[in-house]
């Protein structure tokens, strides 16, 4: 049996892919696995770039455990089954007049997979998805299913749980009244963007920018929320097809493929790429504006740094890419997030700037990662758990004040390491039997 992640960099042959239809079935699969000494990795939509789900034993998919459990239009409290795809949430919440307060670039992920790696969007008034989680149902390797919320230690750990804190069968989230977004995209000199970004981030609801390394301009995307009766002006069908699909995916993909064969093309492609991203203004329901199709496959690393050092870190990452001589045809992406109180969230306890570096999937990622990681490290960067990085337990323990608590909470729910794989053992300093080794 073959399985690969979205980028194609993780390719595995699991012995089995289990697709339970009920929570009871999830729990009994886990208990049976524990009794037989088997290893299980929960999997969502396979959109993580890291080998978080890699296993040669059992993958456990909740694709049949998807949908709305409950929604309260007055409080915004919503409970979804763990396998629910984010792209289905807007439709599920529409009858209740509710929406997710913020979203990332895409909506293909499952809600359990997204919270498990600390998936986020942009905006200093907003946390990632894990920051709005108010409760979880977890199936554990002892065959029990427990509801977790508030001050419970297992809950705190499992809000960004890497798939090692139990199988998340349901997620409760604090949602908001449905809203529209106006998107204004502008292309501006990079120095102006760097000088003004922090101030503009404080004023805007959601602000991010894309910068092709070595080029003088960046594309800024600014989103404004509105809930009043102002009409929306969605992107026309023609605009969507020409700009998003044809230019943004087909042409961009063809150029990337060409540059992966002829390195000298990378430079002109960066210039063309930054022009292809040039400005548009449109508005629509929030879930249609937050996300955009990403059909050209790439690999990615992303780190969260303290917001105050924003300008230095962005400049240095760009310099490191240019100095490395690696011919990159994807833009860097810069976003922000509010501090949250999760244990392993990359914005835990600090307002953060996220800097992401991408590369076409057919090109070697390791040299680019080697060029930028020292910069992230120097600026106390915390890696996105779902995006490529080389950090292991010793460094992670320095970056997260609650790291040891997380390891202890994991060992308490899964002492035999049923839910561990090689990658998570290295991340969590978990010994061969799943114990925490000091
Ligand atoms: C094109 C693209 C765009 C992206 N854009 C963004 C973005 O804008 N912002 C951002 O922050 N990230 C982004 N990501 C990263 C992505 O959001 C995360 O890697 C996310 O975790 C993927 O969710 P998934 O459902 O595919 O989970 P998977 O990748 O399948 O799994 C992720 C983790 O969740 C665990 N898991 C899955 N289901 C369960 C469950 N039911 N119970 C317990 N654990 C579970 C797995 O074991 C694993 O540890 C992007 C990735 C891609 C490929």
So where are the chain's domains? 62-177, 180-383
Pocket test for ligand 1, best of 43, 55, 103 (most atoms within 8 A of CB): 43
Residue nearest to atom 32 of ligand 1 (CA): 113
62-177 and 180-383 in the same fold? no
The rounded radius of gyration (Å) of the Cα atoms in the chain is 21
Taking CA atoms, 121 is separated from 100, 131, 309, 347, 354, in Å, by: 11, 12, 19, 12, 10
117 CA distance to ligand 1 middle (Å): 6
At residue 437, the pLDDT reads 37
At residue 435, the pLDDT reads 41
**Could you read off the pLDDT tens digit of each residue along the chain, which spans 438 residues?**
999 999 999 999 999 999 999 999 999 999 999 999 999 999 999 999 999 999 999 999 999 999 999 999 999 999 999 999 999 999 999 999 999 999 999 999 999 999 999 999 999 999 999 999 999 999 999 999 999 887 799 999 999 999 999 999 999 999 999 999 999 999 999 999 999 999 999 999 999 999 999 999 999 999 999 987 778 888 876 666 666 665 666 666 777 777 777 777 777 776 776 666 667 899 999 999 999 888 899 999 999 999 999 999 999 999 999 999 998 989 999 999 999 999 999 999 999 999 999 999 999 999 999 999 999 999 999 999 999 999 999 999 999 999 999 999 999 999 999 999 999 999 998 865 444 333
Residue nearest to atom 53 of ligand 1 (CA): 47
Pairing of strands 167-174, 133-139: antiparallel
At residue 244, the pLDDT reads 65
Q: Which atom of ligand 1 is closest in space to residue 116's alpha carbon?
A: 34
Taking CA atoms, 70 is separated from 146, 174, 366, 367, in Å, by: 18, 12, 44, 47
307 by DSSP, 3-state: which? Answer: helix
Rounded to whole angstroms, how far apart are CA atoms 9 and 1?
17
Domain 62-177 CATH assignment equals 3.40.50.1980: no
48 CA distance to ligand 1 middle (Å): 5
Q: CA nearest 383: which of 306, 300, 302?
A: 302
Q: Which class is 180-383 in CATH?
A: alpha beta
Rounded to whole angstroms, how far apart are CA atoms 116 and 47?
12
């Amino acid at each position: 049996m073959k399985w690969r992640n979205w980028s194609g960099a993780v390719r595995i042959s699991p012995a089995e892919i289990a697709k339970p239809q009920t929570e009871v079935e999830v729990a009994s699969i886990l208990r049976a696995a524990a009794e037989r000494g088997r290893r299980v990795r929960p999997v969502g939509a396979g959109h993580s770039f890291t080998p978080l789900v890699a296993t040669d034993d059992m993958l456990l998919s909740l694709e049949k455990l998807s949908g709305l459990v409950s929604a309260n239009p007055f409080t915004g409290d919503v409970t979804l089954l763990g396998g629910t795809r984010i792209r289905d949430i807007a439709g599920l919440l529409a009858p209740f007049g509710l929406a997710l307060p913020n979203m990332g670039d895409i909506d293909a992920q499952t809600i359990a997979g997204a919270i498990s790696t600390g998936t986020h969007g942009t905006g200093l008034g907003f946390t990632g998805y894990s920051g709005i989680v108010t409760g979880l149902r977890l199936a554990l390797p002892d065959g029990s299913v427990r509801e977790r919320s508030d001050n419970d230690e297992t809950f705190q750990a499992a809000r960004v749980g890497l798939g090692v804190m139990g199988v998340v069968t349901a997620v409760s989230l604090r949602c908001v009244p449905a809203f529209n977004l106006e998107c204004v995209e502008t292309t501006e000199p990079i120095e102006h963007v760097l000088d003004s970004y922090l101030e503009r981030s404080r004023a805007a609801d959601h602000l991010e920018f894309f910068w092709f390394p070595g080029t003088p301009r960046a594309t800024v995307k600014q989103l404004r929320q509105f809930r009043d009766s102002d009409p929306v002006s969605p992107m026309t069908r023609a605009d969507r097809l020409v700009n998003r699909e044809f230019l943004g995916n087909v042409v961009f993909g063809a150029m990337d493929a060409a540059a992966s064969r002829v390195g000298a093309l990378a430079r002109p492609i960066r210039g063309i790429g930054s022009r292809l991203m040039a400005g548009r203004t449109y508005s629509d329901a929030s879930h249609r504006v937050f996300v955009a199709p990403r059909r050209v496959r790439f690999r990615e690393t992303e780190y969260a740094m303290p917001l105050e050092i924003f300008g230095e870190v962005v400049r240095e990452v760009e310099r490191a890419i240019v100095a490395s001589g690696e011919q990159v045809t994807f833009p860097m992406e810069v976003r922000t997030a509010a501090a949250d109180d999760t244990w392993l969230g990359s914005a835990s306890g600090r307002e953060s700037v996220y800097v992401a570096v991408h590369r076409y999937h057919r090109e070697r990622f390791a040299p680019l990662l080697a060029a930028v990681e020292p910069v992230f490290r120097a600026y106390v960067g915390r890696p996105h758990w779902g995006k490529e990085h080389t950090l292991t337990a010793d460094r992670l323990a320095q970056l997260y004040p609650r790291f040891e608590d997380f390891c202890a909470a994991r060992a308490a729910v899964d002492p035999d390491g049923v839910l561990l794989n090689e990658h998570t053992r290295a991340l969590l300093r978990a010994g061969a039997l799943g114990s925490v080794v000091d």
